[in-house]
Every structure is written in structure tokens, then in C-alpha cells.
Amino acid sequence: MSDLPDLSIRQLEYLLAVADEPTWAQAAERVGVSPSALSQGLAELERRIGVTLFERAGRRRLLRESARPVLDHARQVVTLTADLTAWSQLVRSAALGRVRLGMVDVAAVDHYPEVLRAFRRERPDVELLLRVAPSAPLLDDLRAGALDVVVCVEPPTPLDGVELAPLAAEPIVVYAPAGTVIGAPTTWGPWVLFPEGSHTRHQIVERLRERGAPLGVVADSHQPDVLREMVGLGLGWTVLPEVSEVDDGLVRGPVLFDRRLVLARRRRVVGDPAVDELVARLRAA
């Protein structure tokens, strides 16, 4: 007889809802049950696992940090189950495919627009849904099962349940306002950069620190063209992908580092031929 605990997908969905939502009432609403039913379901989950998942903080119950492995397992199982459900629906309906693709802006606009155009033109039977956003939220959506594949900046640390494959390397360049004479790194800045939490911002700050450059940041934006405009107004210097360079009078400085773009997919996902085809085209580009 198996010693594995008898866990249900529903119980794991309850756990994810409590972890993701700000209140138990909102978590209960998300999964369509009453707060008392949610509480009972999670108590049963704790009983079956044999580990305490929550702790009291006044009248609130909070997920313990030690419960993180259970939460990661729940997210992976629920996501893989959703993938299997989507695949079975495709098989039953004889649909030929749907691809939910996430890309950072530079990938969609500068690196792979021809791949996307050709795929749409040659595969009109496949529904291609594209979301353009920064890397971190795209990877969150991938892990949650809302996207099938993501092209993004390589994250600073590995992600559970996600496999990464290198796609391209691109120079990341320092730019200064018109008329600037670029001297030693100690004279650079102040900076207008990508926002805190951005994978590229993390790499930029590390490389500037290595060169001894001041790290004062006076403004930020996710949009490279907005950052260039702010430099043009004299607000500061910036660091951007070389591919976004235009003739706007900014002074080009040195290449700070080469940024890696990667292709991200969930591990052990149920295969979809349409997704696999688009991935092959991206890798071949």
C-alpha cells in the first residue's frame, strides 16, 4: 500500500489562493468557497501532509516560511494539471493549437518581429497570443501557467520548475546627454534606469559598481525610448541595449556588458506541437 499522502488538486489550489491573495476572504472568493470551507480544506491538507503550514499572528493565520517547499510543489502540480487539461481540451476539440507567448519589448520589436510575422502568416490555424512586459512578471505568469513560453532577460538566479535556454547576447551600452565628454567611470551619472526589480537593472548596477561609478538614480522607466528622452532632457545618463540606439544626439559611451536573452518554459510540461514549432523558429532565428 502506498505511503504517499492522499492530496487533492483542490486542496493545493486552496493553498495557492491563500499564498497569493491579501486576505482569506479574497482567497476563498478566488476558489469559490466560503472562508470556513477554505479553512477546513487547509486543515485537512495539513493533516494529510503531517506538517504545520500556518502560524498565528494575532487573529491572522500566516503561511510559515518553512512551508515554502509545499507551496512550490502545489504551484507546480496545479500548473501541470492545468497544462494537461488544456491539452486534453485541444485533443477533444480537434483544435490545432494555441500559443501564449511572453516577450520583453526588445525581443518582440527588435530581435524577433520577423519570426512572429512568419509564424502568423504560415500558421493561420494557430492562435498566437502575445504579451509584452518586463521579464519578472512574464516569468511569474509562466510559472502560474498563464503563458506557454517566454523570451526574457536571463534571471539572476535559477527558478524552480523553469528551464532556460540561451537565445541571444546583446551589448548593453552607456549613453550620456549631448555634449558630454565621457571620462572615467567615477565621473558618470546621475542615472535614469530601468526600475528596481528589473533583471537588467540588477546587472547594470552590479557592472557600474565594479567600475567604481556613482550609483545615484534620479528617474526610472521600463521603456527604453522614455529613458532616452529623459537623457535628452539632461536629467542624467542611461544604460540601454545597443539595438535600441537611434540618431537622437546622445553621446555613446562604452559597452558595459553583454546581456543574455533566454527562452523559458516550464519543466515537464505536456507538449503542444504549435508551441514546439514556435520555439524551434525562435531558436533558429
What is the domain partition of the chain in residue ranges? 9-74, 77-167+262-284, 169-259
Amino acid letter, residue 119: F
Amino acid letter, residue 240: L
Q: What is the CATH number of domain 9-74?
A: 1.10.10.10
- Whether 77-167+262-284 shares its CATH topology with 169-259 is answered yes
Q: Are strands 98-103 and 149-153 parallel, antiparallel or unpaired?
A: parallel
Report the predicted TM-score, pTM, of the whole model to 2 decimal places.
Answer: 0.68
pLDDT tens for the chain, residues 1 to 285: 457 678 888 999 999 999 888 888 999 999 999 989 988 988 888 888 888 888 887 777 888 888 888 888 888 888 888 877 777 776 555 455 789 999 999 999 999 999 999 999 999 888 899 999 999 999 999 998 899 999 999 998 888 889 999 999 999 999 999 999 999 999 999 999 999 988 899 999 999 999 999 999 999 999 999 999 999 999 999 999 998 888 889 999 999 999 999 999 998 777 678 898 999 999 999
Q: Residue 1: its pLDDT value, please?
A: 44
Phi/psi at 14 (nearest 5 deg)?
A: -60, -45
For 276-280, which contacts have Cβ atoms below 8 Å and span 24 or more sequence positions? 277/119, 277/123, 278/99, 278/101, 278/115, 278/119, 278/128, 278/149, 279/149
The CATH architecture annotation of domain 169-259 reads: 3-Layer(aba) Sandwich (3.40)
What is the C-alpha separation between 54 and 50, in angstroms, rounded? 12
CB-neighbour burial class of residue 261 (10 A; exposed 0-12, middle 13-18, buried 19+)? buried
Class of domain 77-167+262-284: alpha beta
What is the C-alpha separation between 63 and 45, in angstroms, rounded? 13
Q: Residue 139: its pLDDT value, please?
A: 95
